[in-house]
Amino acid sequence: MELNNKKAYYEYFFEATFTAGIVLAGTEIKSLRTGKASFNDSYCIFDKGELFVKSLHISEYAFGTYSNHEPLQERKLLLNKKELKKLEEKSKEKGYSIIPLKIFINEKGFAKMDIGLGKGKKNFDKRETIKSRENDRDLKRNYGL
């Protein structure tokens, strides 16, 4: 099971990516395993030296009871201190953001998230991305690459 944030690659240039663990409740992991998550407008933010992901929507678990989780709550990300320090320094620079890229379950059964340190693209960069994607598609269609 793997959920990708395709819009992030369209909106940002990524300089570095990191794999972080996520602190989840029981119903959240069950909902993730069924693929019920959305990255719409999600981003990462630092609070007292800890990294949190905001506005990541994990749907309520269908078979959950009164103890079901809130779909849009903040979730803590787990990285080692060196990575956190590097990310915090870079994110304070103008134009840099920390964006969730992918959520997956690793071979041990733990939920992980790939996050990227990115800089926003300008409109002409986005047009260039679309043009190169269409050229690649035409090449594959015409030459069967």
Residue 15 belongs to a domain with what CATH number?
A: 2.40.280.10
Alpha helices (H) along the chain: 6-11, 26-33, 81-91, 123-143
Please give the pLDDT value at position 125.
Answer: 76
Q: Which two tokens stand for residue 131?
A: 């043009």
Q: Tell me phi and psi for residue 53, to 5 degrees.
A: -105, 130
Cα separation, 95 vs 38, in Å, equals 24
Q: Which two tokens stand for residue 28?
A: 């959240």
Q: How many domains does the chain have?
A: 1
Please give the pLDDT value at position 111.
Answer: 85
pTM for this predicted structure: 0.74
Domain that holds residue 25: 8-143
Coil, helix or strand at residue 25: coil
Cα separation, 2 vs 24, in Å, equals 16
- Biggest alpha carbon–alpha carbon distance for the chain: 57
Q: Is residue 14 part of a domain?
A: yes
Q: Is residue 131 part of a domain?
A: yes
Q: Is residue 38 part of a domain?
A: yes
Please give the pLDDT value at position 69.
Answer: 67
Q: Is residue 1 part of a domain?
A: no
Q: Is residue 2 part of a domain?
A: no
79, 88 contact by CB (below 8 A)? no
Query: Which residues of the chain carry a pLDDT beneath 70?
Result: 62, 64-66, 69-71, 145
Q: Is residue 132 part of a domain?
A: yes
Q: Is residue 3 part of a domain?
A: no
Name which of 11, 51, 26, 29 is nearest 103 in CA terms. Answer: 29
97, 43 contact by CB (below 8 A)? yes
Q: Is residue 52 part of a domain?
A: yes
